[in-house]
Amino acid sequence: MYLCTAQEMRDLDRCTIDRMGLPGMVLMENAGREAARALLERFPEAKKAVVLAGSGNNGGDGFVIARHLAAAGWEVSIGHLGQVEKMSPETQTFYGVCRQMGIPIVGKNESEKWIGTADVVVDALLGTGVRGELREPVRTLIHQVNRTCQGFVLAVDIPSGVDTDTGAVLGEAIRADLTVTFAAAKWCHYLRPAAEYRGELKVVDIGIPPAVVTENPPRAQLNQPSLWEKHLSPRSPWSHKGSHGHLLVLGGSQGMLGAAALSGMAALRFGVGMTTLGVPHGQVGPLAAKVTEPLIWGWPDGPEGGFSGAFPPDWEERAPRFTAVAVGPGLGRFTREKTWLERLLREVSVPVVLDADGLNILSGDLSFLEQRQGPTVLTPHPGEMARLLGISVEEVESSRHQVAVDVAERYGVTTVLKGTFTVIAFPDGQQVIHPESSPALAKAGSGDVLTGILGGGLARGIPVESAVSLGVYLHSSAGRLATVASAHSVLASDVIHHLGRAIHQIH
């Protein structure tokens, strides 16, 4: 399922109308009918509804909704803001039908009187093309809905008052209980603050032919099994541990051994054949007492139980055994860290995942990533992304999707910007958005688990695009499954424990 910008959606509509010959009136009828159906399914008994309609095509959808609700026996009135002469021909047609049916159509002042007593308010005021601060009287009417409406609020396509492409709120926006959107989700449905206004999201088909989407594919998709499920096919009965890759995890300085252990165990639970935990020499004993499944490799010690910045004497011998490397879980900071990381990335051609202090070492200078020969995956949370780029967390969060894709395209890396709706951006500008979140993952250690899952997928030889999207999906799903009693009480180790169930649910 795709995720569209306003322009991408206009292109799909226009191609459907111009090239396929499907009239815009048919698309508008389909959109309004499906939105009305969502209401009729939710409310089997007739209700009192107020449809707030502008003069654009979003308003045309609203007139269609009003007609279908009235035909189903609902008491319907329409609050119309705008001028009839500015309507598109399609919107004018459906406006006229409503008048012929005798559905009351009134202006702003009369609409405000009905909003507080309606069972359902339909927001069909503004569509995807709105830019800039809202003007009157729309802003006041939106405020009135938010302040006085006691009923259910349906937003048509997007909540009026949000920017489709950035998720910004343009001064005031409808707070919906349900948003019914057409053909594809829009960026504002997954970007804050707009995502907080949409309520439940329902994507409905309005008849845009698959060939049109194939010819004009949007650059972003929602994360779903069809993108990667083929890589979870049953294992061959002839396989062995060497068939499923070997992941090296570098981290686990004193006081942070648990982070490396979590990553290693997550990779094994996901299905990698072998995992080696590379930790400072002094931490080998404590780690051996903590874990049994991963192999352990001691690296030169630095002060206070951390890394020294040197490589072990058997590095060149052992390095070719690994099919992926994860750097950062419990790594810590140390002298010569930048030179150390540069050498590692230069000499390792297999995929590398950088997380936590692996990212912090890069802060302020990502340039040497451009020379790397193998795939690189960065997994920052907003704070880490802000440090990487030398900007504020607020700047990151106000444009998550753009920040992620800018880094991916500029440095030739795959960026996983973690958060409520994780943004995955690839070097070619394509993006995948994970449409779900689990509050259970708001716990120390859950990022280390994700690093292990991603590293494990890459070590198994799954292509980067699939491995990263699959890993984010399983991490989220396992977090949800781990919430048996309460999201407050879930541990990172619980998420690892539920990875098998998460995988099983896909098949």
pLDDT at residue 356 in the model: 95
Place of tokens 């120390």: 444
Higher per-residue pLDDT: 438 or 121: 121
Q: What is the mean pLDDT of residues 138-152?
A: 93
Q: Is 507 exposed, middle or buried (0-12, 13-18, 19+ CB in 10 A)?
A: exposed
Q: How far is CA 447 from CA 98, 286, 472, in A?
A: 54, 22, 11
Is 90 exceeded by the pLDDT of residue 440? no
Residues at the binding site are: 57-61, 123, 127-133, 157, 160, 259, 330, 381, 418-422, 447-448
Residues 6+ apart with CB under 8 A from 399: 166
Q: What is the mean pLDDT of residues 152-162?
A: 97
pLDDT at residue 112 in the model: 77
Give the DSSP H/E element, type plus range, for residue 407: helix 400-411
Is 80 exceeded by the pLDDT of residue 338? yes
Place of tokens 């004193």: 254
**pTM greater than the 0.85 cutoff:** yes
- DSSP designation for 314: T
User: What digits encode the pLDDT tens for the residues 69-87?
Assistant: 999 999 999 999 888 888 8
Q: Which of 391, 427, 431 is nearest to 411 (CA)?
A: 427
- Please give the backbone phi and psi of residue 415, each rounded to the nearest 5 degrees, phi first: -110, 130
Token couple for 293? 């499944």
Is 80 exceeded by the pLDDT of residue 109? no
Is 90 exceeded by the pLDDT of residue 455? yes
Q: What is the mean pLDDT of residues 33-37?
A: 98
pLDDT at residue 487 in the model: 86
CA 317, distance to chain mean position in Å, is 40
As a whole number, the mean pLDDT across the chain is 94
User: What digits encode the pLDDT tens for the residues 279-330?
Assistant: 999 999 999 999 999 999 999 999 889 999 999 999 999 999 999 999 999 9
The amino acid that residue 152 corresponds to is F
Is 80 exceeded by the pLDDT of residue 364? no
Q: What is the mean pLDDT of residues 142-148?
A: 93
Quickly state the pLDDT bin for 241 (edges 50, 70, 90).
Answer: confident
Q: DSSP readout, 323-358? A: SEEEE-TT----TTHHHHHHHHHHH--S-EEE-THH
CA gap 226, 448 in Å, rounded: 26
Q: What is the CA radius of gyration of the chain?
A: 26
Quickly state the pLDDT bin for 233 (edges 50, 70, 90).
Answer: confident
Quickly state the pLDDT bin for 228 (edges 50, 70, 90).
Answer: very high
Residues at the binding site for (6S)-NADPHX are: 57-61, 127-133, 157, 259, 330, 381, 448
Give start and end residues of each alpha helix (H) in 116-230.
138-148, 210-215
Is 90 exceeded by the pLDDT of residue 130? no
User: What digits encode the pLDDT tens for the residues 158-213?
Assistant: 999 999 999 999 999 999 999 999 999 999 999 999 999 999 999 999 999 999 99
Residues 6+ apart with CB under 8 A from 162: 168, 169, 170, 173, 188, 194, 197
Residues at the binding site for AMP are: 418-422, 447
pLDDT at residue 482 in the model: 92
* Cα-Cα-Cα-Cα dihedral sign, residues 239, 457, 251, 376: positive
Q: Which of 169, 139, 174 is nearest to 50 (CA)?
A: 174
Q: What is the mean pLDDT of residues 495-504?
A: 94
Higher per-residue pLDDT: 365 or 166: 166
Residues at the binding site for K(+) are: 58, 123, 160
Percent of the chain with pLDDT over 70: 100
Q: What is the mean pLDDT of residues 36-60?
A: 95
Token couple for 341? 């990381």
Q: Which of 385, 388, 329 is nearest to 353 (CA)?
A: 329
Q: What is the mean pLDDT of residues 450-473?
A: 97
Q: What is the mean pLDDT of residues 450-457?
A: 98
